[in-house]
A and B are shown apart, each in its own frame.
Chain A
Amino acid sequence: MLENRKLEILTLIGLFTFVVLFLVISGQAGHEFSGSDDVGSEKIAELTGKPVESFTPLIPQYKPPSGEIEATLFALQAAFGGIVVGLVIGYWLGQKKRTATT
């Protein structure tokens, strides 16, 4: 039983360690957990000596008006992926069952 669940257990341990690490680190001061994309942009501003605001899009782009909308769009992106994965795995399971019974 335990033998064929090795990978699952390993993954759970990995995720658990990750969560604990996060809890420990977020308890310390000085971590904002902003996106590394934004930190990168700030670094560019620092290196060029120009403020972040002076970097204007070369091609005009849509910006989600608030964090809420952005979260919705990200959730939709993940949900779309989740639906496809569930659909296909279910399809394969059904296929396997059918060939097993006939």
Chain B
Amino acid sequence: MHIMEGFLPWQWCALWWIIAIPFLIVGVIELKSLLRKDREYLPLLGVCGAFIFILSALKLPSVTGSCSHPTGTGLSVMCFKPYITAVIGFIVLLFQALLLAHGGLSTLGANMVSMAIGGPLAGYAVYKLLKNTRVNIFVTVFCVAAVADIVTYIITSFELALAYPAAVGGIMASFSAFFVIFAVTQIPLSIIEGLVLTLVFKYIVQLKPDLIEKLDVFSKKQIESALGTMTGVPEEKV
């Protein structure tokens, strides 16, 4: 989903940077106040960030015959909301732009809008939608992670289509061309990412249910009933 350095006209680079910067600023402020409030969150923050690092380094082959990487932002957006996720995403993208020539400084704004902001926001919307329903929390986590992943690539396609409308058919034609390259490749990867992150979330919940509860990711009742059905203890009737 990285837009390579030099592949986006400077006007578009500027526009995406302008959209991305407020998220970054609010994210840094939120991050500071969160850590001032309670150092207990630091390990969880580390795990969420670390998964973005790991997953975005893995370039996996897909059914379309090209390779792409998952994003891993779903976990972070559920635990720490979109703004802080934007900051973590920024760090990963900066590392890749500076050392790996994956994306670049000028396109960092655009890449942030897709991977660090847009994708996580879509995942967050799914989370909000499913949070207070009877849906099992692990199903929710799966949906959030998969949606955050795939939407990231849809936004990349959209960014490129806006900058490079096709001569015939305009933005929509070029959007569908980029969509095939990025988003279709991503479908199987996002399913895998959903599964892996759900598994990770299960371990976090088993080890630190109080943290998840305190951050109000899920309610105590939801966590208990999910853990209960997993360990075979019958669900409490309310």
Determine whether the beta carbon of A89 is less than 8 Å from that of B203. Answer: yes
A59 to B178, CA, bound (A): 24
Q: How near does chain A come to B71, taking the closest CB pair, in angstroms?
A: 13
Determine whether the beta carbon of B231 is less than 8 Å from that of A4. Answer: yes
Asked if B29 is at the interface of the complex by the 8 Å CB criterion, the answer is no
Determine whether the beta carbon of B160 is less than 8 Å from that of A44. Answer: yes
Given the contacts A18-B188, A44-B160, A85-B54, A7 and B202 also touching, CB distance less than 8 Å:
yes
Determine whether the beta carbon of B66 is less than 8 Å from that of A33. Answer: yes
Contact with A along B115-153 (1 / 0, CB 8 A): 000000000000000000000001000000000000000
Extra pairs beyond A18-B188, A36-B68 (11, CB < 8 Å): A7-B199, A33-B65, A35-B59, A35-B67, A59-B5, A59-B104, A61-B98, A77-B57, A81-B50, A84-B50, A89-B203
Residues 14-47 (chain A) with a chain B CB within 8 angstroms: 14-15, 18, 21-22, 25-26, 30-37, 39-41, 43-44, 47
Determine whether the beta carbon of B6 is less than 8 Å from that of A22. Answer: no
Interface of chain B, main secondary structure: helix
Contact-residue size bin, chain B (C-beta under 8 Å from the other chain):
35 or more
A6, closest chain B residue (CB): B230
Determine whether the beta carbon of A84 is less than 8 Å from that of B49. Answer: yes
Residues 47-72 (chain B) with a chain A CB within 8 angstroms: 47, 49-54, 56-63, 65-68
Contact-residue size bin, chain A (C-beta under 8 Å from the other chain):
35 or more
> B191 touches which one: A14, A63, A70, A96 (CB < 8 A)?
A14
> B99 touches which one: A73, A81, A92 (CB < 8 A)?
A73
Q: Which 5 A-B pairs have the closest CB atoms?
A: A31-B65, A81-B53, A81-B54, A84-B50, A81-B50
Residues 131-188 (chain B) with a chain A CB within 8 angstroms: 138, 156, 160, 164, 166-167, 174, 177-178, 181-182, 185-186, 188
Determine whether the beta carbon of A64 is less than 8 Å from that of B66. Answer: no
Asked if B28 is at the interface of the complex by the 8 Å CB criterion, the answer is no
CB neighbours of A55 from chain B (8 A): 4, 6-7
CB neighbours of B196 from chain A (8 A): 11
Determine whether the beta carbon of A40 is less than 8 Å from that of B178. Answer: yes
> B65 touches which one: A25, A56, A63, A93 (CB < 8 A)?
A25
Determine whether the beta carbon of B181 is less than 8 Å from that of A21. Answer: no
